Amino acid sequence: MAENKAMDKEDILIVDDLHTYFFTEDGVVKAVDGVTFTVRRGEVLGLVGESGSGKSVTAMSILKLIPQPPGKIISGDVIWKGQSILNIPETEMRAIRGNQIAVVFQDPMTSLNPVLTIGDQIKEAIKLHQQVSDIEAEEKTRTLLELVGIPDAGKRLKDYPWQFSGGMRQRVMIALALSCNPDLLIADEPTTALDVTIQAQVLDLMRDLKNRFQTSIILITHDIGVIAEMCDRVAVMYAGNIVELADVITIFKEPKHPYTKALLKAIPSASSSRDEELYAIPGTIPNLINPPSGCRFHPRCAEARPECSEIVPETVELEPGHFVRCLLYTGQIEITK
């Protein structure tokens, strides 16, 4: 996309035409197949799409954590603060992951050590990345737990992960991620396992952190409803591609890609009753070993034309900052109304 050709001063991360594949016994899984976007300082970028669209693989590629084999970044680039991560040695990359880019995953139980107290885990993380005394680390741990809204933080830091509820554990994970004062927080389905009220609280917390510390956030979710209030910009992913990218208002008010429109139609509205059947996008997400020809969305698209199974759409910028990858807008086919 043209947006990324020039390095904008504000862009701390540039993902440029990234291709990440997995070489499996069944064939090559083209999990991320030409993904381009930027993250600006202090913004929340939403990455949304159905299960299997390549969101987590994109995140893992940014962190250079793709298991190799079977995975490999085939081509493209990830530029962190002006430097290609592909050329950064693993020792330096480890320091970047600890100090500058932090991650929060869906299930904190798998990321927290069950035999260490919450306080010890955060303290260790702080001491690993900062030259501080034991007492200073303990003080900072307490401050962080208070910051993420753990009541009675001084006492709770002596508890073990299993003594916390799901929502509280996710707050602990965010505290742990923030212990290194990251410039970028990648939150991969951070609230999926939580009930709606707790989910809203955790999202509020992340918004607050962004406002206070100018932390950039990539918020990954399959639920477009979650990103409405959180994100500044949204990238919609489908089958390894970004099919639409724009600011959040444009995505919700003037979606252009048929897939974005379908995702929005599938959000339960406050007025819909429990018995009302929710719109579901027909068909299933394609097999990424052998994706559909032409536009990958064509077998499910309500607006598909005959050419859609033959021509791969290019990405076009409809207006500044609004990118769409669909033949209806590229001029690659003649549209008769």
Ligand X SMILES: Nc1ncnc2c1ncn2[C@@H]1O[C@H](COP(=O)(O)OP(=O)(O)OP(=O)(O)O)[C@@H](O)[C@H]1O
Question: Footprint of ligand X on this chain (CB under 6 A)?
Answer: 22, 24, 29, 31, 49, 51-57, 67, 70-71, 222, 288
* Residues 216/40, Cβ–Cβ less than 8 Å: yes
- For Mg ion, the binding residues in 9-68 under the rule CB under 5 A are 56
Q: Which one of residues 18, 147, 236, 328 is an interface residue with ligand SF4 (CB under 6 A)?
A: 328
Minimum CB separation of residue 8 from ligand X in Å reads 26
Choose one: 57-65, 149-157, 211-219, 291-299; the region binding ligand SF4 (CB under 6 A).
Answer: 291-299
Q: By CB under 6 A, is residue 327 in contact with ligand SF4? A: yes
CB of 188 to Mg ion, least distance (A): 6
Cα–Cα distance list, 30 to 64, 84, 235 (Å): 17, 22, 19
Contact 43, 61 (CB under 8 A): no
326 binds, among Mg ion, ligand X, ligand SF4, none (CB under 5 to 8 A by kind): ligand SF4
Note the helical H segments in the chain.
55-62, 90-99, 108-111, 118-129, 134-147, 153-156, 166-178, 196-213, 224-227, 248-253, 258-265, 327-330
Q: Considering only 118-126, 210-218, 223-231, 301-309, which stretch makes contact with ligand SF4 by CB under 6 A?
A: 301-309
Residue from 258, 263, 315, 323 in contact with ligand SF4 (CB under 6 A): 258
Could you say whether residue 108 binds ligand SF4 (CB under 6 A)? no
Q: CA 88, CA 77: separation in Å to the nearest integer?
A: 12
Q: What is the dihedral of CA 216, 222, 227, 230, to 10 degrees?
A: -40
34 versus 71: smaller Cβ distance to ligand X: 71
Of 201, 92, 188, 99, nearest in space to 151 by CA: 201
Q: Which is nearer to ligand X, 220 or 328 (CB)?
A: 220
Whether 22 and 29 have beta carbons less than 8 Å apart is answered as yes
| 262 interacts with ligand SF4 by CB under 6 A | no
